[in-house]
Amino acid sequence: DGGITQSPKYLFRKEGQNVTLSCEQNLNHDAMYWYRQDPGQGLRLIYYSQIVNDFQKGDIAEGYSVSREKKESFPLTVTSAQKNPTAFYLCASSTQTDSYEQYFGPGTRLTVT
């Protein structure tokens, strides 16, 4: 079965710690995306990558970092510089030619205390 895997589903961290969220896809998609979801605010784009070893900032990249060393993987690091890291994080992927039809993973809920 092809799809997107995000792990873990729930993640708890202490303030001041960096944390990395995993995203893996076996859909053979070139493009991958990270979104942050907060209640009543919809989804906001953090970073996206259209090809291996290249990525671009989205609308709310401050306090986050990413890497794209493999086509299948697009991990997101939430750094201690992110002021309000507690949120639901969604990873998605798409083909390059149909970038608006995005396939989403189940999400990771990060709680920082």
Partner 1 sequence: AQSVTQPDIHITVSEGASLELRCNYSYGATPYLFWYVQSPGQGLQLLLKYFSGDTLVQGIKGFEAEFKRSQSSFNLRKPSVHWSDAAEYFCAVGSYGKLTFGQGTILTVHP
Binding residues vs partner 1 (CB under 8 A): 4, 31, 40-45, 48, 50, 58, 90, 92, 99-102, 104-107, 109
**Cβ-based nearer residue to partner 1, 50 or 80:** 50
The vertex-99 CA angle with 96 and 102, nearest 5°, equals 120
Q: Tell me the closest approach of the beta carbon of residue 105 to partner 1, in angstroms.
A: 5
* Other CB atoms within 10 A of residue 105 CB: 21
CA gyration radius, the chain: 13
**Cβ-based nearer residue to partner 1, 82 or 102:** 102
